[in-house]
Structure 1
Amino acid sequence: MSETALRNESATATALPAREDRVQWLLESIQRNRFLPQPAPDSVFVGDGDFKAVGAEFLGHFIRMGGLQPESRVLDIGCGIGRMAVPLTQYLDLEKGRYSGIDPVEGGIAWCRRFITPAYPNFAFQRVDIAHDLYNPKGKISGKALKLPYADRHFDFVIMTSVVTHLPPDEVLIYLSEVGRLLKSGGRLFMTAFVVDPIAATNETGRRDTRLAFQRDGDGPCWFVPELPPLAAVGFDDGFLDNALRRAGLTTALKSFGSWRGQQADHYQDVFVAEYRGGGR
């Protein structure tokens, strides 16, 4: 089946679950596609693993767990150097689907504008000069005063992969408030995180990823890795993100713990899918 046929079938059956055989075919075709843009390994400044394989994996999660549709308007907060954008070029409808990626790192945005947008004009990238101790220490916009450059109720789907894992709690609240403002009624947020529940905190079996030796930071909800800069990896008390989503007017539709904590899962970080249902804000 051609990619066009897959898109057309998906567009005419948006209320139905994605067919697993077609989703799997799409993901495999992305990984085999030698013509998709891919940055040089030494220019990938965020994320571990194979660029194309990780991107394809997440596209599968967006469709299966998040219910992403080909005609969606998508906002990718912290788009980096296009790891999520590249596979989405093969799924979003060229005429109806739209993608907007934002990031504070100029190099990643410049690469995406050069190698993605010319072939896929429905994909736009914008640098937002948000200050961050690790990624953009000289940024002019405080995360506590963030106002994203989009109109209210503009997006159907917002992506925040490995974003709250690098934010302090007060900024998490601001980011999620912005997501609540931007989502249309019925729109969804796909967010990854490290949730430190009692099992993850005690790590009784010793199976947790050894790179994430989280320790609580004072009396707050944050957990940091002692050997790393504080925002290199941030975990939160179980319940903190649930409450933050509610404060932003979002309802959690899915909460799935990841394999980082030593359990079986088909995703590494913990995953939240939350929905804006309209009204009440």
Structure 2
Amino acid sequence: MGASRSELKSLRSTKYTSSARTEGGIERLRALGYRSGLRALDLADRVLGRDRKMVPPRRYRRFIGNGDFAKVGTSITQYMRAELGLLPSHDVLDAGCGVGRIAVPLTSYLTEGSYLGFDIVPHAIDWCHSAITSRHPNFRFSHVDIKQEIYNPEGTLTSADFHFPADGQAFDMVALVGLISHLLPDEVDNYVAESARVLRPGGKCFATAYLVDDMVAERVREGRTAFTFTHSRGTHFIHSEQEPTYAIAYRLDHIQEVAARHGLRLEREPHLGTWSSSTARPASMDLLVLERA
């Protein structure tokens, strides 16, 4: 079984808003129409006073996923503060920062520390520079031209050997939110290694992922999860053979083995989301916390 037609249609829309390069005449027209529709909604937001200074326009935030931009960002950062001990003096690296969903709520909290976010979508970084860095100089953003078949198919770098744009042991926390589910095994290995490299001793890597143990693997095989990961690859499951990086679920013991190899340990039992216990949508991912020795 592959990805459903509606899911691949949604993926196509995601591509339209994340990459300026769309192949094929018909696809270019579809992309133009989709983006034009979002621009019209952005204009309506401005006219009706619904736009906010620190919330990106719809055409920029569509590719980061569903849900209320401000509420989801606030929920994530509250977890980082309450559960992971994030302090105002800490330095945070946000890999795959998108249009600043985590950065925006942190601007009022990281008053003594700093933030560095990077992403492969140029207009996302441009918006963050304009809307966030201009007001909060301790918040920096970097565009990295990594090749990714969904979000940046013509990139010049690879996730498997890419180095984070940061010095070693420069951060107290690394966020990998919504990222592991789009990375293949050699790419996960590199991102975990890079997270360990930039973390200070005792620092934490906070990630969201689709995690699989034997019980969840059985539910996946029986189609009793919110997402269908029906193509098993041993250490991981993929959702669609047509778009393998659309969604990837990993065996928890594999993630632990990779982490241990790079000096990280599971800091606590993962906080399980709803994707693996129910077929209902919307469904949340699992939360994983790794600590550097």
Provide the TM-score with structure 2 as the length reference. Answer: 0.76
Correspondence for 1:10: none
Correspondence for 2:106: 88
Correspondence for 2:257: 243
Correspondence for 1:226: 240
Percent identity between the two aligned chains? 36
Correspondence for 2:271: 256
The answer for unaligned runs of 5 or more in structure 2 is 1-50
Note the 1:85-164 alignment, pairs <5 A: 85-93=103-111, 96-164=112-180
Correspondence for 1:276: 292
Return the alpha-carbon distance in structure 2 between the equivalents of residues 260 and 53 of structure 1. 20
Correspondence for 2:212: 196
Whichever structure has more helix as a proportion of its residues is: 2
Q: CA deviation at 1:42?
A: 2.8
Return the alpha-carbon distance in structure 1 between the equivalents of residues 134 and 244 of structure 2. 38
SS across alignment from 1:102: strand
Return the alpha-carbon distance in structure 2 between the equivalents of residues 173 and 87 of structure 1. 29
Return the alpha-carbon distance in structure 1 between the equivalents of residues 259 and 82 of structure 2. 21
Correspondence for 1:172: 188
- Partner deviation per Cα, 1:6-63 (whole Å, 9 max, x = no partner): xxxxxxxxxxxxxxxxxxxxxxxxxxxx855101223211121110110011011111
Provide the TM-score with structure 1 as the length reference. Answer: 0.79
Moved beyond 3 Å, runs of 4+:
204-207
Correspondence for 2:28: none
AA aligned opposite 2:250: F
- Partner deviation per Cα, 1:148-202 (whole Å, 9 max, x = no partner): 2211111111000011110001110011101111101111110111012222222
Note the 1:201-220 alignment, pairs <5 A: 201-203=217-219, 208-209=225-226, 212-218=227-233, 220=234
Correspondence for 2:201: 185
1:62 aligns with 2:80: yes
Return the alpha-carbon distance in structure 2 between the equivalents of residues 139 and 35 of structure 1. 31
Return the alpha-carbon distance in structure 1 between the equivalents of residues 177 and 205 of structure 2. 10
Note the 1:68-83 alignment, pairs <5 A: 68-83=86-101
Does the 8 Å contact 2:53/2:131 carry over to 1?
Answer: no
Does the 8 Å contact 2:240/2:247 carry over to 1?
Answer: no
How many correspondences in the alignment?
237
